[in-house]
Amino acid sequence: MSEYKTEQEVFWAGEFGTDYISRNKQHTLFASNLNFFSKALSRCQSVESVIEFGANIGLNLKVLELLFPSLEVSALEINGDAVKELQKFIPPESVYHSSILDFQPQGKTWELSVVKGVLIHINPDELDGVYETIVNASSRYILIGEYYNPSPVAIPYRGHTDKLFKRDFAGEIMTKFPNLRLLDYGFAYRNDPVFPQDDITWFLLEKPSKRN
């Protein structure tokens, strides 16, 4: 029996997830990611710590380290081969080899919680718990970057069914956590002539200050 609850987790923990790593490496994503995060986080004040859920080999985190030089970086990732790559530049205690469905942060929080291109691959029945995990992990900012659709749809993904879902993830999070403030949002287009991204719609949310 699988250690995972959903077929989507088995898919990413296994061969498909490992093959994704080499596809991800081949892309010249660095400049596009630098542009993406500098725009998406421009409304943040300084950020001292981050956790990325579904970090893959850490391409986003390497960009974040450039943008915030004193950043303390943590990563959660389900695929063991991707985890080995993360451990090459992140201390082992800050790399969580786990499904986001099983994550136990044990009270730890990070100033920024990031998820990009991951909620689209989560079994929709599990999203409610995953939203809680992402929001509870943050002490201040939450960045969601996913495929947007006003209503939930499943679309074929590289010949596979039930592996890619589009919906208003950030809208659902804001409905579930009405205290969150929408600081900024935007779209990064696949045909951008200079800094293409995979049609990512992003939302930067902020928790209410404890001082107020």
- Cβ atoms of residues 35 and 145 within 8 Å: no
Q: Which two tokens stand for residue 152?
A: 């939930």
Q: Which two tokens stand for residue 211?
A: 């001082």
Rounded Cα distance between 152 and 67, Å, is 34
Which amino acid makes up residue 14?
G
Tell me which of 37, 83, 121, 148 binds ligand SAM, using CB under 6 A: 121
**Count of residues of this chain found to bind ligand SAM when the rule CB under 6 A is applied:** 21
Tell me the closest approach of the beta carbon of residue 58 to ligand SAM, in angstroms.
9
Q: Which two tokens stand for residue 38?
A: 């500098």
Tell me which of 40, 116, 165, 205 binds ligand SAM, using CB under 6 A: 116
Site membership for ligand SAM, residue 146 (CB under 6 A):
no
Q: Name the segment binding ligand SAM (CB under 6 A); options: 9-17, 64-72, 146-154, 159-167.
A: 9-17
Site membership for ligand SAM, residue 59 (CB under 6 A):
yes
Fill in the DSSP letter of residue 208: P
- Please work out, in degrees rounded to the nearest 5, the angle formed at the alpha carbon of residue 69 by the alpha carbons of 83 and 23: 35
Determine which helix (DSSP H) or strand (DSSP E) holds 174, and give its type and residue range: helix 169-176
Tell me the closest approach of the beta carbon of residue 159 to ligand SAM, in angstroms.
16
Site membership for ligand SAM, residue 129 (CB under 6 A):
no
Beta strand extents in 56-199 (DSSP E only)? 72-77, 95-97, 110-116, 138-146, 153-154, 165-166, 181-188
Rounded Cα distance between 103 and 51, Å, is 12
CB closer to ligand SAM, 45 vs 122: 122
Site membership for ligand SAM, residue 34 (CB under 6 A):
no
Tell me the closest approach of the beta carbon of residue 208 to ligand SAM, in angstroms.
27
Q: Name the segment binding ligand SAM (CB under 6 A); options: 70-78, 83-91, 133-141, 184-192.
A: 70-78
In the three-class reduction of DSSP (H, G, I as helix; E, B as strand; rest coil), residue 56 is classed as coil
Tell me which of 36, 77, 119, 138 binds ligand SAM, using CB under 6 A: 77
Which amino acid makes up residue 120?
I
Question: 10 Å Cβ neighbour count for 148?
Answer: 20
Site membership for ligand SAM, residue 99 (CB under 6 A):
yes
Tell me which of 67, 101, 154, 183 binds ligand SAM, using CB under 6 A: 101
The footprint of ligand SAM (CB under 6 A) covers 9, 12, 17, 54-56, 59-60, 76-79, 82, 99-101, 116-118, 121-122
